[in-house]
């Protein structure tokens, strides 16, 4: 079975003001000048979602959220529901990012509930998994990552509305990256879990790599077997550097 079309997603995290939407417009111009052979997604902070969706109307760039609540609505001050994201025009939402897991104490059960809420509303859930440096040093990487995948997948999940993003926690924003062989080993283990869960359609689930992805290492990382794109942090904040990563699929 052919590998699924790659997706390169930019996670802006808690960065960006209204003027930053210009970077998305600049990215559109770069893509229009030279097509890239991958899907492109930008996940700005909630304050910029409406602006980003307006700016990308008619373009090939999709817009997604960085998190969602498990409920459709209710007394949850400061939270955003998957229904609200869908209503705005989002197509995807990130759930279970390591920063949510560490900053907000989100465990696999919570991540699974959020992914379920996203998929219930017709959004694609990008479920993040990854080991800490201590877990890596103790040889626990595969056990930790596969357990996170299994425990974070909703019962009703389908291959079509599920993306897994492997981000070793120790590589996020540090400039450190695992070797291509290390990435291949982890992504192969994730693929095995997905095929066990979804059968043959497990090959259709995109598995993204994230963690200090930059223009100068993107081509090597994106060429690894079972790597179907990237979840990009800091390098996605500027159109030029994000486009440099997209060129891995140029």
Supply 245's token pair.
Answer: 């990563």
Is 104 known to be catalytic?
no
Nearest residue to 44 (alpha-carbon basis) of 70, 63, 59:
63
Q: Largest alpha-carbon pair distance within the chain?
A: 48
Name the phi and psi angles at 5, rounded to 5: -60, 135
Q: Please, where are the H alpha helices in 4-48?
A: 21-33
Distance from C-alpha of 3 to C-alpha of 51, rounded to nearest angstrom: 33
Is 97 known to be catalytic?
yes
Catalytic annotation, pick one of 83, 99, 167, 204? 167
* Residue 86 CB neighbours (<10 A): 18
Distance from C-alpha of 88 to C-alpha of 104, rounded to nearest angstrom: 25
Per-residue burial over 26-45, b = 16 or more CB atoms within 10 Å of its CB, e = otherwise = ebbebbeeeebebbbbbbbb
Catalytic annotation, pick one of 51, 69, 92, 97? 97
**Is the separation of the CB atoms in 226 and 234 below 8 Å?**
no
Active-site residues: which are they? 97, 167
């Amino acid at each position: 079975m052919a590998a699924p079309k790659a997706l390169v997603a930019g996670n802006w995290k808690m960065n960006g003001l209204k003027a930053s939407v210009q970077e998305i417009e600049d990215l559109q111009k770069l893509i229009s000048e030279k097509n890239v052979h991958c899907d492109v997604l930008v996940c700005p902070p909630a304050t910029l979602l409406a602006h980003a969706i307006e700016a990308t109307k008619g373009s090939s760039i999709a817009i997604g959220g960085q998190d969602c609540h498990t409920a459709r609505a209710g007394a949850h001050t400061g939270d955003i529901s998957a229904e609200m994201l869908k209503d705005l025009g989002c197509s995807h939402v990130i759930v279970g990012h390591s920063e949510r897991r560490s900053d907000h104490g989100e465990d696999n059960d919570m991540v699974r509930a959020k992914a379920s809420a996203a998929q219930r509303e017709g959004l694609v859930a990008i479920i993040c998994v990854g080991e800490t440096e201590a877990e890596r040093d103790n040889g626990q990487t595969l056990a930790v990552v596969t357990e996170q995948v299994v425990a974070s997948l909703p019962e009703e999940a389908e291959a079509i509305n599920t993306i897994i993003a492997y981000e070793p926690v120790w590589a996020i924003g540090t400039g450190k990256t695992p070797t291509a062989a290390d990435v291949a080993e982890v992504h192969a283990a994730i693929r095995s879990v997905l095929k066990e869960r979804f059968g043959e359609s497990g090959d259709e689930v995109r598995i993204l790599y994230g963690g200090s992805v930059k223009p100068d290492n993107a081509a090597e990382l994106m060429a690894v077997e079972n790597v179907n794109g990237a979840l990009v942090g800091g390098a996605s904040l500027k159109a030029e550097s994000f486009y440099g990563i997209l060129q891995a699929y140029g």
